[in-house]
Amino acid sequence: MNFLKVTLLAIIFPFAATTAHKYYVSVTQVSYVKEKKAVQIISRIDIADLELTLQERYDESIKMTSVDEKPIVDEYVKKYLNQKIEIKINTREVAFNYIGKEYDNDIVVCYLEIENIDKITTIEMSNTVLFDAFPKQKNVVKTKINSKVNNLIFTKDDTNQYLNFK
C-alpha cells in the first residue's frame, strides 16, 4: 500500500509543482514615414493586464470592452501611455498624439503618432508599460527608421534604449 502511495506521488508531484506560467509581453512597432514627416507607433498590450493597471491607477469600475465602454477609458489609456512611453528624437523630447485604440481578441492595439519630424539621426526611448504592476513584464519594440530595422527589449532593469543613425 505504501509503495502505491509513493508511486502515485512520484507521478503526480511533477504536474502539481508546475503551474501555468503567464508571460507578460507587449509589442510596439515604431516606424518613421519620411514622406509624412511622422513617426507612427502601434503598441499591442494585453487587455486584462492593461485593464487591471488602469483600474488600480484611476478607476476600479472601468472595463475595457468594445461594447458599452465608458468614453473615459480612452483618456485613461492616453494618460497612462504618456506616463510610460518617453521618446527623444535628435536629443529633443517629443510628445506623441494618441490617435485611438481598437481590440484584437485579448489585445488592445494603441495608435500613436509624432508629427513634424524632418529627419531622425538619434532616437532614445523608454518603455515602462505595465512594469509597476507586473515586474516580469517585457516590452519589445521593433523599429524601422531610415530603412534600418532594430529590435529592442525593455525590462524593469533596462528601461532606456538609444539608437544612432548618423
pLDDT tens string for the chain (166 positions)? 554 444 434 444 444 444 444 778 999 999 999 999 999 999 999 999 999 999 999 999 999 987 888 889 999 999 999 999 999 999 999 999 999 999 999 999 999 999 999 999 999 999 999 998 999 999 999 999 999 999 999 999 999 999 998 8
Q: Confirm whether 76 is domain-assigned.
A: yes
Q: Confirm whether 3 is domain-assigned.
A: no
Q: Confirm whether 117 is domain-assigned.
A: yes
What SS3 state is found at 130?
Answer: coil
Say what the pTM is.
Answer: 0.84
Report how many domains make up the chain. Answer: 1
At residue 151, what are phi and psi to the nearest 5 degrees? -115, 125
Q: Confirm whether 1 is domain-assigned.
A: no
Q: Confirm whether 56 is domain-assigned.
A: yes
Give dist(CA 4, CA 1) in Å, integer: 5
Domain of 72 in residue numbering reads as: 23-164
| Measured CA distances, 85 to 16, 19, 31, 139, 158 (Å) | 39, 32, 15, 11, 14
